Copies of this chain bind each other. A is one copy, B any other.
Amino acid sequence: MGDVTALAEEQLSALAAIVGADRVLDGPAGAEQYGRDWTRAHVPAPCAVVLPGSIAEVQSVVRYARRAGLAIVPSGGRTGLSAGAVAARGELVLVLDRLNGIDDFSPVDRTVRCGAGVVTAELQAYAEAKGLFYPVDFASAGSSQVGGNVATNAGGIKVIRHGMTRDWVVGVKLVTGTGELLDLNRGLIKNNAGYDLRHLVIGSEGTLGVIVEVTVSLADPPGDLAVMVLGVPDLGAIMDVLHCARGRLELHAFEFFSEEALARVVEHQELQRPFDTAAPFYALLEFAQPDEAALEAAMAVFEETVEQGWVLDGCVSQSVAQAQSLWRLREDISETISRWTPYKNDISTRVSDVPGFLAEVDAVVSEHYPDFQIIWFGHIGDGNVHLNVLKPDELPMDEFQARCGEVSRWVFEIVQRHGGSVSAEHGVGLLKKEYLSYSRSETEIELMRGIKRVFDPDGIMNPGKIFDL
């Protein structure tokens, strides 16, 4: 527990006058609860926590903070993995929990308006009750909030079919660093009237202002889906499988994991191997199966990829329960390997670059640290891989962490050579700030700083996240 920077009594009173006395928390409990995200490297130390109950209150808080010279950290579900919602330097935490209304559903427009504090799973359930579907889904859907999803452009496991959060946002309300309210795009599908500031806000991690409301569009329910798991001899073959399957199957997910990952999941989660043949890598394909023709197409893909030597063995789900079991082989990896306190990295390249990228990372890590075991898995159909390096049991944690700092540099240098991204879906926050220049040129970073100054001239909105001013 870090020191909680104290606010003067008059400052607390001023905030209480805006949001109500019981909505201002200035003790360690509030700091602990609201002062950080799922990362644990930073000790929370906000000056106070406020829970406004309306957009107008958010504006008033921001205006007060600006006058008082306080920095603001917007706080949603705090499930972030890059320390974007950490308040470790005496910031005022602005909690969006109370802006949690879902309304203005339009069946014709297929849109619905959400307060920033609506939990992702609530939105998903709301859409389902309307016979529709909110397709952005990921492990933290039960506690992440819509505003935070937009602030970080959350991705997940269905991106190959449904895209990122960005693709479902048709309106955003933002309170800028000067307390002005922007009502961006207002649910329009076609709107070419000046710069699309909505897209600038999406993924800006709270540095341009506080997202207070989001209008999302909803999709048709996905219908029946089937899962196929294929064992492949190498990653190049996975690219061939992807190329073969696309255009013939309606892919909803195209994931991969290594034999090292599968072996651990099967051992520790009491799961069955999908088939007897062990393979260096596995592809997991989820695809729409509305009718027999779709299953025949899947079988044709399987046969053709086996014939070509791209696939060693495979299986396809015959029921929803089997599909779920096959998914667990992929989804349980993270939890399974957590006992080895792995070094993790979330990066992307162009899809076709993934095999080369992985080979280079494997080579450099095994050259320097032959005892390091790398577990690969991720959304390979989007070019997004999760790199996990397991800590050797005998290696002290601090030594492991020091070596992983080196690994980061090597990985990001390889990312840079491939023109990839140092953060595929988790954002930059504090965690990857020092590595941003591996993905973005100095000119781009300087432009970002300039844009931030336009939205937030005094630099009070989540300062120090993504880049330093």
Which residues of A come within 8 Å of B, CB atoms?
106-111, 131, 152-153, 155, 159-160, 164, 166-167, 176, 180, 182-184, 186-197, 199-200, 202-204, 220, 239, 242-243, 246-247, 291, 293, 348-352, 379, 382-384, 419-428, 432, 436, 439-441, 443-445, 447-448, 450-451, 453-455, 466-467
**17 A-B pairs whose Cβ atoms sit less than 8 Å apart in the complex:** A108-B242, A109-B352, A159-B189, A166-B196, A180-B443, A183-B441, A189-B348, A190-B421, A190-B424, A191-B421, A192-B421, A192-B425, A192-B426, A193-B428, A194-B445, A196-B203, A199-B202
CB contacts (< 8 Å) of A107 on chain B: these are 243
Q: Are A246 and B192 in contact (CB under 8 A)?
A: no
- Known interface pairs A188-B421, A192-B153, A193-B421. Does A182 touch B455 (Cβ–Cβ under 8 Å)? no
Question: How many copies of the shown chain assemble into the complex?
Answer: 2
Q: How far is the CB of A263 from chain B (nearest CB, A)?
A: 27
Residue of B nearest to A433 (CB): B194
Q: Are A425 and B352 in contact (CB under 8 A)?
A: no
Of A379, A425, A447, which is in contact with the most chain B CB atoms at under 10 Å from its CB? A447
Q: Are B444 and A182 in contact (CB under 8 A)?
A: yes
CB contacts (< 8 Å) of A439 on chain B: these are 191, 193-194
- Known interface pairs A195-B448, A195-B451, A196-B202. Does A190 touch B108 (Cβ–Cβ under 8 Å)? no
Q: Are B220 and A190 in contact (CB under 8 A)?
A: no
CB contacts (< 8 Å) of A164 on chain B: these are 190
CB contacts (< 8 Å) of A187 on chain B: these are 350, 419
Of A166, A243, A440, which is in contact with the most chain B CB atoms at under 10 Å from its CB? A440
Extra inter-chain contacts (9) besides given A110-B246, A155-B192, CB under 8 Å: A152-B192, A166-B196, A191-B421, A193-B422, A195-B466, A196-B202, A197-B444, A197-B447, A197-B448
Say which residue of B184, B203, B350, B448 sits within 8 Å of A186 (CB atoms): B350
Bound-state Cα–Cα, A293 to B290, Å: 11
Of A164, A183, A190, A426, which is in contact with the most chain B CB atoms at under 10 Å from its CB? A190
Bound-state Cα–Cα, A167 to B195, Å: 15
CB contacts (< 8 Å) of A176 on chain B: these are 443, 447
Bound-state Cα–Cα, A176 to B447, Å: 10
CB contacts (< 8 Å) of A436 on chain B: these are 193-194
Q: Are B450 and A454 in contact (CB under 8 A)?
A: yes
CB contacts (< 8 Å) of A453 on chain B: these are 450, 454
